[in-house]
Chains A and B, each alone.
Chain A
Amino acid sequence: MQDGTFAVAEQGEFTTERRWPPFLHGAWALLGQLVQDRVALTAAIFLFIVLLAAILAPYIAPHDPTVQNITHRLQPPSWLPGGSQEHLLGTDQLGRDILSRIIYGARVSLMVGFFAVLCAGGVGTTLGLISGYYGGRIDNIIMRLVDVQTAFPGLLMALAIITMIGPSVRNIIIVLTINGWMVYARMIRGTSLAMRQSVFIDAARVIGASDRRIIFLHLLPNLASPLITLGTLELARVILAEAVLSFLGLGIQPPASSWGLMINDGHTYITMAWWLVTFPGIAIALTVLSVNLVATWLRAITDPLQRTLQYGARQ
């Protein structure tokens, strides 16, 4: 494995030294590598379970997350005195089942995360490719925009925009896109700028391929690996951002539930019912931690330099 990566580097195909094998074969090889890293494997399995729970929420949630039952309000988790088997993680101030609300909350948090990463990644990658491939004045304009926006107070801007256009799932995704596209643009531009000089791009141009063909069929596939790694890292950031927005009351609105919103709801009851805020917070922390662990692992296996930094140089 170690030898293989050095071989790629020595051929000097790309300066980035990151590469995935052809796609299907790559996915299989990736799985093989994942099994060897226990921490990353645990994280990946946890994420898979969360994803499954989000998709299958109506079938596995023990209760309807919106049904209120005032007589059962603020019941502690089942293992504490006063708790019941019926509500494993207890109930909230309106008697709703916390476990069911967490399962349904996974849907919202993951969906917002995926779409926000997809939109920001799409916008950022397109602008980055244009910037890196064409260079010149358009590159200058796009990169100045990236610079200026990176210096913006991001969260405050997001809050101001949400105040004006109103909170909704769609608007949160829009705001997170406006907030996040720059990272992709900068990374893609840098890599494609270096790649533009390489022989296989010249070859494509010589046989008469159009710009669009070169960008989408030659440049983009070679950017897949850093892009997937960056997307995973950004997913962690975006899930946290949605949680913060919802906690501040400017994200997901009731009756829908999200993990951040549950913490906002339970915040008032911390002196008498700690479980209202504890469990949704654990759900966010474990999910984001798993995403981060998988991203770190991805970066390590696709980038030899990162691998050295990650695991230490072989003595």
Chain B
Amino acid sequence: MLRYIIRRLLYSVAVVAGVSIFVFVITHMLGDPARMMLPLEATEEEYLAFRHQLGLDAPLHVQFFRFARDAFRGDFGDSLWQREPAMGLVLERLPATLLLVAISTFLALLLSIPLGVLAALKPRSLLDRLCTVGSLTGISIPDFWLGVMLIIIFAVRAGWFYTSGYGTWKHLILPAITLAARPIGRITLIARSSMIDELSKQYMATARAKGLRESVIIYRHALKNALIPIITLGGWQVTRLLAGLTVATETVFAWPGVGLLAIQAIERRDLPLIQADVFVVALLVSGLNLFLDICYAFFDPRIRFE
């Protein structure tokens, strides 16, 4: 187990290093950061001074060395927009995103597992068909559009919730539903198909032959086994949400999380802030992946020896 954890940890370090290299390539080689951040009317002297101040006149490998050192310390410099350390700004916004993702995930699991099981118990029934088409619809609707429509119907027309902002549960409900739509669709589909898979296996016949009650067969035998792929997919969906799917939803609802911060930083061409934001999100995603993988290895010993 320990060997597995160490190997997995090294892999996470490699991912974070890969992300840093990628961020460096994107921000230092795809364009001229100094030109991008300065206003258009800046003079040539100002430009050269700014370049020097940012250390952009040094050779590329020196720049990369400095970048890697600062990234290791979590120091990406001051945000040009807020005149504060970029890292602190990102960390300030983190709880809002985590709250939103947690509530959406809870909502998704609460709804989709019962739906998937019900559909699987009666394949080809009307309920099953509605479930499948409904899930595919949830996956197909653009989340930002769903958010706007929910605002029009429930905030502007009905006035039940606030259109945007952060603070009370009235702020939270609409963005959480918006963000949950896609995971609900995906998890319902996988819950349904893994339940169908389990129900068709031999041990179900054994359980029936023993004369167990139908509810015991379904919940204690089939569902317990079917939960493994469901939880795997659920975990993966959470990492996807953290990895950027919150950006559009946070923008629509002006939800002050790291996704909205990324868009604000991009609009203001605030390079240190963009770097810090991408880096923190990448760190979070690989941390969560690491945690999930260790959990799987704990519950399924076969994984450790792969």
Q: Which residues of A contact B (CB under 8 A)?
A: 39, 144, 147-149, 151-157, 159-161, 163-165, 236, 240, 243-244, 247-250, 260, 263, 267, 270-271, 274, 277-278, 280-281, 284-285, 288-289, 291-293, 296, 308-313
Contact = CB atoms under 8 A, between A and B. Distances in A.
A252 B120 CA distance: 42
Contacts of A296: 136
A160 B36 CA distance: 13
Interface of B: 11, 14-15, 18-19, 22-23, 26-27, 30-31, 36, 120, 123-124, 128, 133, 136-137, 139-145, 148-149, 151-152, 156, 193, 196-197, 199-200, 242-245, 247-248, 251-252, 262-263, 266-267, 269, 274, 277-278, 281-282, 285-286, 289
B25 to A, nearest CB: 10
Given A161-B26, A164-B26, A289-B140, A151 B285 contact: yes
B140 A247 contact: no
B33 to A, nearest CB: 8
A117 to B, nearest CB: 16
27 contacts: A148-B14, A151-B282, A152-B19, A155-B243, A159-B244, A160-B23, A160-B27, A160-B274, A163-B269, A164-B31, A243-B145, A244-B142, A244-B248, A260-B142, A271-B156, A277-B145, A281-B148, A281-B149, A285-B141, A285-B145, A288-B140, A308-B200, A309-B197, A312-B123, A312-B128, A313-B199, A313-B200
A312 B136 contact: no
A160 B278 contact: yes
B145 A151 contact: no
A84 B218 CA distance: 57
Contacts of A148: 14-15, 18
Contacts of A250: 266
A289 B136 contact: yes
A153 B151 contact: no
A164 B140 contact: no
B137 A161 contact: no
A270 B144 contact: no
Given A151-B289, A311-B124, A263 B144 contact: yes
A156 B26 contact: no
Contacts of B136: 289, 292-293, 296
Contact of A292 (B18, B139, B199, B277): B139
Contacts of A248: 247-248, 251, 263
A70 B113 CA distance: 51
Given A267-B148, A293-B136, 12 more contacts: A148-B14, A151-B19, A152-B19, A152-B243, A153-B278, A153-B281, A154-B244, A160-B23, A164-B36, A267-B252, A285-B145, A309-B197
Nearest to A278: B149
